[in-house]
Structure 1
Amino acid sequence: MGDPFDFNEILMSVSYFSSITTKALTQFINDSINQRLKSAIDENSSGVTLNRLHEQLEDETESEKPKIVTTEEEITGFNIVKAILCQKVEIDRIIARDTQSYFGILLDDNNRKPICRLHFNAKQKYIGFLNEERKEERFSIESISDIYKFTDKLLDSITLYE
């Protein structure tokens, strides 16, 4: 009786299937590359260049980056201002609005009722108050806890709107 497993036949079968698999994979990769090249050529012929596509993608990723970042220092400063002002107004009337250049604290979420502005985006920190002419007067502070030194000014800013 012969051996049911002929080693030579198995090797030939493996070799045969290996070559077929390699050819199929090569064909698939070539087709995929050709399809991408055709779509790129079509886009180029319609007036859209690859460089332009690349620039558009860069612009999209740039626009996805937030331009306004609220820091822990700003939140802490906001909480200090709320702690000071809760003597005079309900705490839920004090609202924060962060912008690119300053962190604004408002009464009643109203731009016409600014309490103060925290400028914490540079090395030197400032707290700013708007006067009657809507001009901002800035005071430098060394640390966030220096906000407590402006308790009277903060309480006075509330009386302008009451």
Structure 2
Amino acid sequence: MTTNIPKQSINQLKKTLENFKINDAIELCTNEAQTRKFLIEPFFHLLNYISNDLIPEFNADFGDRVSQKIDYAILLNKKETILIEAKKYNSRLSDKEAGQLNGYFNNTKSSRIAVLTNGIEYRFYSDILLPNVIDSKPFFVFNLTNYSDKDLETLIKFDKRYVVINEIIKTAQECVFVEDFEASLLKEFIAPSKDLLKIIHRNMNFKTKFTEETQGKMINLINSALLKSLYDKKVISESNSNTGGIITTETEIQAYHTIRTLLIQNKKIPSQRIFFKDFKSFFNISVDDNLKKVICKLIFSDSKLKIVIENNEYLLSSVDDVLKYKNELINRTLLLLE
């Protein structure tokens, strides 16, 4: 059973982080010890770990080498351990540094999660790919100066009141699987393998011999223009199959892409928070797929195209006309992101 985390707890964490005087703390951090005291320890206190929960200079067994000490360890139920490797504020973190924790992972089964941090950035690692061998990449990264609501929803899972290591590992496994799947699929799109081409060729109605010339034609067809076209068709197919008679048109999808591209040119607007939802008489573009955070409403028919931003309606002669309302769309989005 998945742990139920109240929305109120997430909101409280968000408020507490917003009230954390991070700039004052940074000014006090000139070495690693001060980074621990003014940034790292307060961060874990925000997650409801008291001083006794954070065991400093934890004795770690690194196999045949002399015993070394990890900066911190959090013992959960005296069975599971979270390791924390601290670096000085402003230190550039790299995944290679996570290898410092590998010795401990190799010699204990009680630790499934390790954190590498410089007080601002917190990199969470596990041993998803190989048991007791720390992964080369983190499954979650939290930055105190740049985080999203989605990041908070993940971070709250490490709160002392809610932390369940097995659930976190399961989520991490899903993240690693999806990331690996995307990377493998992208690799095939960039340099299509013969096996992929064979599968596509076998499913084509237009039958030809699978020659090198045919393979060359297919490779040339697999480009960004084709993928965008297929993406649009996939979106329309998914939308139309789940909406009980609501038909999403290519014009609506084109408008969505135009507006989304326009918005994410602003660095303060994260692309992953822009969504659309089609209704029978209008098409919404919103923040976080939230009906209370509608950026604009599109009302498209055979006779006219109209965009509604807040309570202001504008007639469009073509989809490209939405570019005229760039400032209104960006300002509206930034307001909804607050």
Short-chain TM bin: 0.5 to 0.7
State the match for 1:13 in structure 2. none
Residue of structure 2 equivalent to 1:56: none
2:334 to 143, 159, 162: 159
Name the counterpart of 1:83.
261
- TM-score using structure 2 length: 0.27
Partners in 2 of 1:107 and 1:69 — Cα distance?
A: 22
Aligned match of 1:39: none
Show the counterpart of 1:67: 245
Question: 2:286 aligned with 1:106, yes or no?
Answer: yes
The residue matched to 1:118 in structure 2 has which SS? Answer: strand
User: What displacement does 1:123 show?
Assistant: 0.9
Instruction: Kindly provide the CA deviation profile for residues 64-116 of structure 1, in whole angstroms up to 9, marking residues without a partner as x.
Output: x9421000000000001110110231111100000011110010111110000
**Deviations 1:102-139 (Å, cap 9, x if unpaired)?**
11001011111000011112411101011xxxxx3210
Give the share of equivalent positions with the same residue, in percent: 31
Q: 1:125 touches 1:142 (CA, 8 Å); kept in 2?
A: yes
Equivalent-residue separation in structure 1 for 2:335 and 2:272 (angstroms): 18
1:117 aligns with 297
- Contact 2:269–2:334 (8 Å) recurs in 1: no
Q: How many equivalent pairs are there?
A: 93
CA distance in 2, matches of 1:81, 1:145: 9
**In structure 2, what is the equivalent of residue 45 of structure 1?**
none
Aligned equivalent of 1:140 = 315
Q: Structure 2 unaligned runs (5+)?
A: 1-242
The equivalent residue for 2:275 is 95
Of 95-104 and 65-74, deviating more is 65-74
Work out the CA distance in 1 between the residues paired with 2:278 and 2:320.
Answer: 20
> C-alpha distance in 2, partners of 1:137/1:100?
21
Q: Secondary structure at the match of 1:160?
A: helix
Aligned twin of 1:127: 307
Higher relative contact order (CA 8 A, sep 6+): 1
Contact 2:286–2:295 (Cα < 8 Å) also in 1: yes
Paired letter, 1:108: D
Measure the CA separation in 2 of the matches of 1:157 and 1:147: 14
Per-residue deviation, residues 8-52 of structure 1 (Å, max 9, x unmatched):
xxxxxxxxxxxxxxxxxxxxxxxxxxxxxxxxxxxxxxxxxxxxx
Q: Secondary structure at the match of 2:312?
A: strand
Quote the RMSD (CA, aligned, Å).
Answer: 1.5
Structure 1: distance between partners of 2:244 and 2:291: 22
Please identify, of 92-101 and 121-130, the stretch whose mean Cα deviation from structure 2 is larger.
121-130
SS in 2 for 1:157: helix
CA distance in 2, matches of 1:159, 1:91: 12
- Normalising by structure 1, what TM-score? 0.54
Instruction: Answer whether contact 1:102 1:121 (CA < 8 A) is retained.
Output: no
Largest Rg, 1 or 2:
1
- Segments of structure 1 that go 5 or more residues without pairing to the other structure are 1-64, 131-135
